[in-house]
Amino acid sequence: MSSPRELEAALHALGHPHRVPLSEWPGDLTGLDLPGLYAYWVNAAGAADLACGLEAQVSAGRVYVGQAGGTQWPSGKRSRTTLRSRIGRNHLGGNIRGSTFRHTLAATLRVVLGIQADAERLLGDGEALLTEWIKEHLEVAVFPFEDRDALNDLEINVLRRLDPPLNLNHVIRTDVRRRLSAIRRMLRRSLKGQE
């Protein structure tokens, strides 16, 4: 379990954060070789793209919070993931199969970016287009947190307080989140060849 002091420190780091544009990753962020929490912030043009894809209001600001390296419960399996590997390798250099966040963005931006998919992956330059969009429109803030066993609990408490619109777990169901779940399912069906 995380402590109230740890929760307040995380909320401060992710609520009024020092952010780095993803185009400058990793910039001057520190503690990246540790587990921890991260938050993505979108600029006004990116928010407009997300709003178009979701057919709902999305404001510039924090849109997603995630964690890197928490122990998997109830199995107790230890993760070796760090903030550097999760953000740099999975979110910037990865694909939609290895990143829930990339999957969410691909589903939301499918029409805006003209992304096509087949049974296995995004077609053509779909992943590159998605990475370019991320670099152009997103900033990241981090909260390094060494206690892998308490990280999941800390993430849940942060999500409940910050309520970022693109998160689907541990937050209240809203019309935007219902729409996001539906468009993620549509992309998943496309990836399985059912569309």
Per-residue pLDDT tens over the stretch 121-130: 888 999 999 9
Instruction: Tell me, yes or no, whether 46 lies in a domain.
Output: yes
Instruction: Tell me what the mean pLDDT of segment 150-175 comes to.
Output: 96
Measured between alpha carbons, how far is residue 113 from residues 23, 46, 106, 126, 173 in Å?
18, 12, 9, 8, 27
Closest CA to 142 of 2, 5, 30, 24: 30
- Report yes or no on 172 lying in a domain: yes
Q: Is residue 24 part of a domain?
A: yes
Q: 26: domain range?
A: 4-190
Query: Does a structural domain hold residue 19?
Result: yes
pTM: 0.93
pLDDT of residue 191: 63
Q: Please, what is the average pLDDT of the chain?
A: 93
Taking only the tens place, the pLDDT of each residue in 56-74 is 999 999 999 999 999 988 8
CA dist 163 to 15, 43, 69, 82, Å? 11, 18, 21, 23
Total structural domains within the chain: 1
Position 194 confidence tier, pLDDT thresholds 50, 70, 90: very low
Residue found by looking up tokens 């999305």 in the block: 58
Tell me, yes or no, whether 134 lies in a domain.
yes
Would you call 138 helix, strand, or coil by DSSP?
Answer: strand
Q: Nearest-5° angle of CA 15, CA 171, CA 81?
A: 65
Strands 20-21 and 138-144: antiparallel
Note whether residue 195 is domain-resident. no
Model pLDDT for residues 18-45, shown as the tens digit of each residue:
999 999 999 999 999 999 999 999 999 9
Model pLDDT, residue 195: 40
- 195 or 39: which leads in pLDDT: 39
Alpha-carbon span 145 to 37, nearest angstrom: 7
Percentage of the chain modeled with pLDDT above 90: 80
Residue 14 lies in a domain: yes
Whether residue 59 lies inside any domain: the answer is: yes
